[in-house]
Each structure stands twice: as C-alpha cells, then as structure tokens.
Amino acid sequence: MCLYANVSIFFYGVTSANILEKKDDFASVVMEHLRLNGAYWGLTTLDVLGKLDAVNQDEVVSWIMQCQDQSGVYPGFSGFGGNIGHDPHLHYTLSAIQVLALFDKIDVLDIEKLDIASLQNEDGSFSGDIWGEVDTRFSYIAICSLALLQRLDKINVEKAVAYIVSCKNLDGGFGCTPGAESHAGQIFCCVGALAITGSVDHVDKDLLGWWLCERQVKSGGLNGRPEKLPDVCYSWWVLSSLIMIDRVHWIDKKKLADFILDCQDKENGGISDRPDDAVDVFHTYFGVAGLSLLEYPELKAIDPAYALPVDVVNKIFFTT
C-alpha cells in the first residue's frame, strides 16, 4: 500500500467528529490535555497529503476558539489550553495559530488579547505560562507565534536572540537553558527561532552540522542524543535543523526515507516511532513531515522553520 492511502486510512479514523464520539475511551481521556496539539499534528499531515478537505473546517475552528482562555484569571496572557476548559499555555497557543493558518482563519483571533509578549522575561527568555517555567522551546514558540501573527515587533527580539545564543554548547548544539545538555528537539527550537529572526549567523554551522549528522544510525533513522535509539520524530527535529543550516547533504537521505516508510502500519495506516511499534498521530505527523523535507513524491513542501506547508506560510507573508 502506498504512503498516501496508508496514512489517510489512519487519519480518516481520527477526525474531530470521531474523536467527540469516543471522548470517554481510555485513550481519549489520557490524551485529553494534548487534544489541540493532536489537531495540529493530524490536520497538518492531512494538508501535506493534500487531504485537508476530509475534515469539517467550521467545526474545527469553532472547537479551537472554545479552547482559548476566557476566564480573566490569568493577567496579561490569554492563550489557548490543550482542550476546552484547560489552562492556557504557549505550547497549545502555537498549535491553535498553526491550525487556524491551515484554514486561512487567523483573522478570527483577537491578537492583542493573546498578549504573548507579556511572557517575555527581562533576560530575553520566555515563560510557557504565568507560572514561570523557562525553556528554549518557549522562546521558539513565542517567536514563531508572533511571526505568524506578524507581531514580532511586540517583543525585544535582540534580547530573545541573545538568550537563545546563551544556551549554545561547546558541541555546537543547544539546550533548554544555559548549560543544559544538547538535544535535537531543543536544537530545532533554537535554530528555528534564530532562522525566523534572521539570526542564523550565530550558529556554528559546521560544528552543529557534525553533531546532527552523527544522529543517524545504521538503520538510517535518527536519534535525539548520542547512544539513544532512533525515533521517527527526529526525522523532523534533526532534518529541519540540517536544512536551516544548509548541511542536509551530510546524511544519507535515502536510508532515512526507507526507515520512515518501514515504520508504517500497512494494514491500519499511520506511522510509529520504530518498525513494528504502535502508530500514533504524533509520529505519523513527524514521519510525513520528514518525508516532505526529503522531497518525497506528491507531498506538499513543508517549511522547516514554521512547521507548516510552504503555501500556507507564503499566504501569510506574501499576500497583501
């Protein structure tokens, strides 16, 4: 079975209506707090496959807007929670913006009410919510969100970049805070934020490129740190970073594509972390996104910094 039919089978089974019907299932309950992220992973995959019309756009947009905090309890920041009634966090807020961008519906947002800029700290870092946890993931999320909303001027970009650069390590990688271990996921966040702000010159491209290409193992898959097992999700985190620093030719792209395809469930659809494991929407998205970056036939191109189809990003920035 080809990739497209295989993955589509999986996603036709996880449309929003289907999820609502099964909201009391164990899997639905334990993943309730990630529902908005799951919508982004699933819907972006469908768009890359050219199948976004399989879902009811109005239903999805209506549900997303119900996930925005309306309580007034949280001073300043009024972002989105992972589901209706959940506390707002930057992580879910970016997913909401990205899904609305897929449907060309960013205009339904009250952008000023979001007030993402209120989460920037004096040192340039960002907290994920009002409780104050700091992580370079949140720097990327804030910068990516504000760029998609065309509101980067609302933050101190120079300080934001300086904080990210302070998290760079001697191996060329980046951690979640200054001095923290280099990790492929954090590297994507830092390189992505630097790319969006036009600051990639702060990256030692050869040194980081070496660290990233060393993540490819014999199977062709990529891991996130030395001595770890390969995982399909790193097909995105590592590959997108290599593309942004122009070092993607340092890995064996064919072996990586074969590894991703080997992780398909050829009977029921979807992609898993490794061959013969259970599939899920998270790894299906990152597998398809990785194949898109590898220019796999008939997949829409995806932007390595914004993690959205290129045509969606172009519509935001180049449509007057």
CA angle 108, 112, 117 (to 5 degrees): 125
> What was the pLDDT predicted at 32?
82
CB 256 within 8 A of CB 238: no
**Domains of the chain: residue spans and CATH:** 6-318 (1.50.10.20)
Which residues have CB under 8 Å from 277's CB, separation 6+?
263
DSSP assignment, residue 80? B
The answer to whether 189 touches 236, Cβ cutoff 8 Å, is no
Strand-pairing partners, residue 216, are 222
Burial of 48 (0-12, 13-18, 19+ CB in 10 A): buried
Q: What is the largest CA-CA distance in the chain?
A: 53
Contact by Cβ (8 Å): 203, 149: no
What percent of the residues of the chain are helix, what percent strand, and what percent coil, each to the nearest 5?
55, 5, 40
Q: What is the pLDDT along the chain (320 residues), one digit of tens a residue?
A: 456 555 554 554 444 445 445 566 656 666 787 899 999 999 999 999 999 999 999 999 999 999 999 877 767 789 999 999 999 999 999 999 999 999 999 999 999 889 999 999 999 999 999 899 999 999 999 999 999 999 999 999 999 999 999 999 999 999 999 999 999 999 999 999 999 999 999 999 999 999 999 999 999 999 999 999 999 999 999 999 999 999 999 999 999 999 999 999 999 999 999 999 999 999 999 999 999 999 999 999 999 999 999 999 999 999 75
